[in-house]
Amino acid sequence: MARIVQKYGGTSVGDVDRIKIVAARIKATRDEGNEVVVVLSARAGVTNELIARAKGLCANPSERELDQLLAIGEQESIALMAMALHGIGVPAVSYTGAQAGIFTDTEHTKAKIKMVDPTPVLGDLTQGTIVIVAGFQGIDDEGQITTLGRGGSDLTAVALAAAIKADRCEIYTDVDGVYTADPRVVKSARKLSEISYDEMLELASAGSKVMQSRSVEFAKKYGVVFEVRSSFNHNPGTLVKEEVAYMEQVVVRGIAADKDQAKVVVSDIPDKPGSAARVFRALADAGVIVDMIVQNVGRHGVANLTFTVPHADTARAVRALEPVLVGIGGGQVAVHERIAKLSVVGVGMKTHSGVAAALFQALADVGINIDLISTSEIKISVAVALDRADEAVRAVHAAFGLDKV
Amino acid sequence: MARIVQKYGGTSVGDVDRIKIVAARIKATRDEGNEVVVVLSARAGVTNELIARAKGLCANPSERELDQLLAIGEQESIALMAMALHGIGVPAVSYTGAQAGIFTDTEHTKAKIKMVDPTPVLGDLTQGTIVIVAGFQGIDDEGQITTLGRGGSDLTAVALAAAIKADRCEIYTDVDGVYTADPRVVKSARKLSEISYDEMLELASAGSKVMQSRSVEFAKKYGVVFEVRSSFNHNPGTLVKEEVAYMEQVVVRGIAADKDQAKVVVSDIPDKPGSAARVFRALADAGVIVDMIVQNVGRHGVANLTFTVPHADTARAVRALEPVLVGIGGGQVAVHERIAKLSVVGVGMKTHSGVAAALFQALADVGINIDLISTSEIKISVAVALDRADEAVRAVHAAFGLDKV
């Protein structure tokens, strides 16, 4: 007998038929003698519908009221799933975030989990009842409904798994695991049977859309081993866990491409202390997420700063920078939209040299130019032309032998 | 300055445009210097949509989970209305039943309000904030979401009005008040400017669909004066309040017809003590609501029992009666579907004789036969043929001079 948390996303509860299929899967898990907690998202599309209705009433809806509104999406999912389980004779109870003891701070639309009280969930589990919890939501100290922001349902699942000391946490998505590269781009991409938290984090931040970083960080912090797998089949997924010894034999674990980046070049700014700080302070204040950063000093004591930002943030970035450039006495801003960021990730890099060289060589061999380079302990990222990104991923995937077991 | 509770039904929050119209009305009430609490229903249709989805998953959904599911309807309404008010620059906050301090017992789908804690609502009102409360729902002592059953949003409004000592409670519906008879049937029907709780209760139980009895009973118990009016115009509505002296000059206040009744005749049952009790015990146990009851003893020591039940309950009534008749040693059951119940209501009846005679004469004058008769202190009801019901209402309306001011 094991205690298992299963999280199902919006497509898994998209309609009555899908709910029945998932209910049958949950029942099967219980029939094997396990205690089961299920975390659900809102059905696909409902959040966007609600936001559209909200925007029709108020250009800039209050975040408290948005939370009050959006929380109903998961509440619908959990009640329907409990009914579906009752319909096949399985005892089940649904809990909103508040009822499940998910306590957060008061930051509406992006609340952080402060504490999970496992008491209500544990009480039902010991009686053989399946507990269905609304993902993405919690309650603050004053009884206000909060939501956790993007990837919130995964976070609910991982946090609950930690709080109830679950043996397993299964994250069901529409992909059946973590691949060495996007299988739609690289035909020979392989599913990884396991991956370390750090590699998963680097892949997440490198544009692999399987999971948001924050849930992986939470899992790492509390040692929650979780498995990413598909609710559309019964294939084993990818286990995400602490790095283990034999992992180090693999130098590069996977490759991710992020096509949602634009390059911003701030050129000809006076090369004096504090210029760069003022540039990035202004971007941070405007809520722009900056990724790769490169600085080089040009002639005549002027410097160039180059960095990447998400596409959606480019206009905001430019608006934020204009007054800064006036303040520091010069400089121009230019935006280059058509780039992609390619990243190779692997804990083995820490102890192996030559990964960067092999990466650059692989790209050179197919004539792809490298625009920017940035590195972390277990990742190397390069910016390349957007229209050659897929080709670049395939070339690098082959060069590192990722298509071989 | 007054403290006002306004309740809007499902058609008033049916879409974004209607929500904006209602928001403007709420704003106008506040702009006159009033404190405003708004109680909302789920938008029209959403409850039936959710129930249909539930039934697709489970033939007989758990009442706890139904409440968990249905409560999202009002939660959507309140968040959207708060946003609509923000959109026109009015401070507003939305509260679920739980957040508004609506505490109930644990009877899911038909919970009773135990207590309303006015603290959260009063706190916002004193700061000039409009408080938008989800009708129909509450929370039990264990934090479970409950719903109040039919007419629940009206009840929320009346209960809140009592708890915060509101000066006025306005119930907005799709009719603009209480009429002397259904204006679709009687062209000369007049809107009543006021009516007593008891008359309103008798009209409600007599088939006038303006409001459920329980909200009127609650208002009577706590002395909440409320006004029934339309959200589609600005006409004054009907004030419902304690009986006042001058009301007594009016003998008959209004006429209602209930076309949703069937007559059940249980004939030839042994006329001995306990037979009637066993018949009605069986019906009560089967959840059948019995209305008019007439008993007469026939020849040879056998009795006939005649009563009316809602159409929807006839099959259930017959099923419940069959074993009883075997038990008491004889009798037949017959159902007559095509009847209507016509009721004349007025507190003035208490002190005036001759109302019954005038009623029967009015019907006789147009050749309408009377099938059953039952009376209360302020009401006389008769069963007539369904196909002559409208004609009967018009004749009685004229006979009591209700078309004259």
Inter-chain Cβ pairs, chain A and chain B, closer than 8 A? 104
Of all residues in chain B, the one with the smallest CA distance to A76 is B69
Record the tokens describing residue A281, joined without a space: 């302070």
What is residue B298's predicted lDDT score, i.e. its pLDDT? 64
Q: Is the pLDDT score of A295 beyond 80? A: no
Q: Average pLDDT of A157-181?
A: 93
Q: Average pLDDT of B200-227?
A: 87
What is residue B116's predicted lDDT score, i.e. its pLDDT? 97
Q: Is the pLDDT score of B248 beyond 70? A: no
Q: Is the pLDDT score of A246 beyond 80? A: no
For chain A, give percent helix, strand, coil, nearest 5: 40, 25, 35
Q: Is the pLDDT score of A375 beyond 90? A: no
Exposed, middle or buried, B118 (CB in 10 Å: 0-12/13-18/19+)?
Answer: middle
Record the tokens describing residue A81, joined without a space: 């799933």
Q: What is the pTM of this model?
A: 0.83
What is residue B146's predicted lDDT score, i.e. its pLDDT? 97
Instruction: Work out the percent of chain A whose per-residue pLDDT is above 70.
Output: 97
**A380, A382, B390 from A385: Cα distances, Å:** 17, 10, 79
Q: Nearest-CA distance from A79 to chain B in Å? A: 5
A-chain CB neighbours of B68 within 8 Å are: 75, 78-79, 82, 94, 96
Cβ <8 Å between A83 and B57: yes
What is residue B334's predicted lDDT score, i.e. its pLDDT? 92
Please, are residues A36 and A127 in contact by the beta-carbon 8 Å criterion? Answer: no
**A396, A404, B129 from A251: Cα distances, Å:** 13, 13, 60
Of all residues in chain B, the one with the smallest CA distance to A18 is B57
Q: Any residues with CB less than 8 A from the CB of B69 and at least 6 apart, and which? A: A75, A76, A79, A80, A83, B50, B54, B61
Q: Is the pLDDT score of A337 beyond 90? A: no
d(CA A166, CA A37) in angstroms, rounded, equals 9
- Considering A353-362, B225-234, B371-380, the range whose residues carry the highest mean pLDDT is B225-234
What is residue B246's predicted lDDT score, i.e. its pLDDT? 65
**A49, A51, B152, B219, B227 from B158: Cα distances, Å:** 33, 32, 10, 6, 11
Instruction: Work out the percent of chain A whose per-residue pLDDT is above 90.
Output: 65
The beta-carbon neighbor of A83 closest among B58, B78, B96 is B58
- HSE-up (13 A, CA, CB side) for residue A247: 24
Confidence of residue B48 (pLDDT cuts 50, 70, 90): very high
In B57-162, DSSP assigns E strands to 92-95, 102-104, 113-116, 130-134, 137-139, 145-147
What is residue B245's predicted lDDT score, i.e. its pLDDT? 66
The beta-carbon neighbor of B79 closest among A69, A82, A96 is A69
In tens, the pLDDT along A183-202 reads: 889 999 999 999 999 999 88
Mean pLDDT over the full length of chain A: 91
B-chain CB neighbours of A64 within 8 Å are: 93
Cβ <8 Å between B82 and A62: yes
d(CA B9, CA B40) in angstroms, rounded, equals 6
How many other CB atoms are there within 10 angstroms of residue B123's CB atom? 12
What is residue B299's predicted lDDT score, i.e. its pLDDT? 64
d(CA B163, CA A20) in angstroms, rounded, equals 44
Of all residues in chain B, the one with the smallest CA distance to A53 is B16
Complex ipTM: 0.80
Of all residues in chain A, the one with the smallest CA distance to B70 is A76
A-chain CB neighbours of B72 within 8 Å are: 72, 75-76
The beta-carbon neighbor of B94 closest among A68, A75, A87 is A68
Lowest mean pLDDT among A163-172, B75-84, B156-165, B317-326: B317-326
The beta-carbon neighbor of B57 closest among A75, A87, A93 is A87
What is residue A298's predicted lDDT score, i.e. its pLDDT? 64
- Considering A9-18, A129-138, B210-219, B330-339, the range whose residues carry the highest mean pLDDT is A129-138
Confidence of residue B247 (pLDDT cuts 50, 70, 90): low
Q: Average pLDDT of B256-266?
A: 91
What is residue A247's predicted lDDT score, i.e. its pLDDT? 58
In B105-225, DSSP assigns E strands to 113-116, 130-134, 137-139, 145-147, 168-173, 194-196
In tens, the pLDDT along B288-346 reads: 888 888 877 666 778 888 899 988 889 999 999 999 998 888 889 999 988 999 999 98
**A167, A193, A201, A404, B289 from A196: Cα distances, Å:** 18, 11, 9, 20, 65
β partners of residue B133: B39, B95
How many other CB atoms are there within 10 angstroms of residue A63's CB atom? 15
What is residue B153's predicted lDDT score, i.e. its pLDDT? 96
Phi, psi of B193 (to 5 degrees): -75, -30
Chain B contact residues (CB < 8 Å to A): 16, 19-20, 23, 50, 53-54, 56-59, 61-62, 64-66, 68-69, 71-72, 75-76, 78-80, 82-84, 86-87, 93-94, 96, 98-99, 143-145
In B178-267, where does DSSP find H-type helix?
197-205, 213-222
Cβ <8 Å between A57 and B83: yes
Confidence of residue B150 (pLDDT cuts 50, 70, 90): confident
The beta-carbon neighbor of B58 closest among A66, A87, A98 is A87
**Which amino acid, one-letter code, is at A369?**
N
Phi, psi of A348 (to 5 degrees): -65, -20
The domain B3-174 having CATH identifier 3.40.1000.10: the answer here is no
Cβ <8 Å between B58 and A86: yes
Please, are residues A269 and A305 in contact by the beta-carbon 8 Å criterion? Answer: yes
Record the tokens describing residue A224, joined without a space: 């929650």
Longest dimension (CA), chain B: 79
What is residue B286's predicted lDDT score, i.e. its pLDDT? 87
Cβ <8 Å between A75 and B93: no
The beta-carbon neighbor of B65 closest among A19, A94, A145 is A94
A-chain CB neighbours of B82 within 8 Å are: 62, 65, 68
Cβ <8 Å between B75 and A68: yes
What is residue A170's predicted lDDT score, i.e. its pLDDT? 97
Please, are residues B66 and B73 in contact by the beta-carbon 8 Å criterion? Answer: no
d(CA A100, CA A133) in angstroms, rounded, equals 7
Q: Nearest-CA distance from B87 to chain A in Å? A: 4
- HSE-up (13 A, CA, CB side) for residue A32: 11
Cβ <8 Å between A83 and B54: yes
What is residue A405's predicted lDDT score, i.e. its pLDDT? 59
DSSP reduced 3-state for B362: helix
Q: What ranges do the domains of chain B cover? A: 3-174
DSSP reduced 3-state for B374: strand
Q: Is the pLDDT score of A248 beyond 60? A: no
β partners of residue B380: B344, B375
Q: Average pLDDT of A62-75?
A: 97
Please, are residues A42 and A74 in contact by the beta-carbon 8 Å criterion? Answer: yes
Cβ <8 Å between A80 and B57: yes
Mean pLDDT over the full length of chain B: 91
Cβ <8 Å between B68 and A94: yes
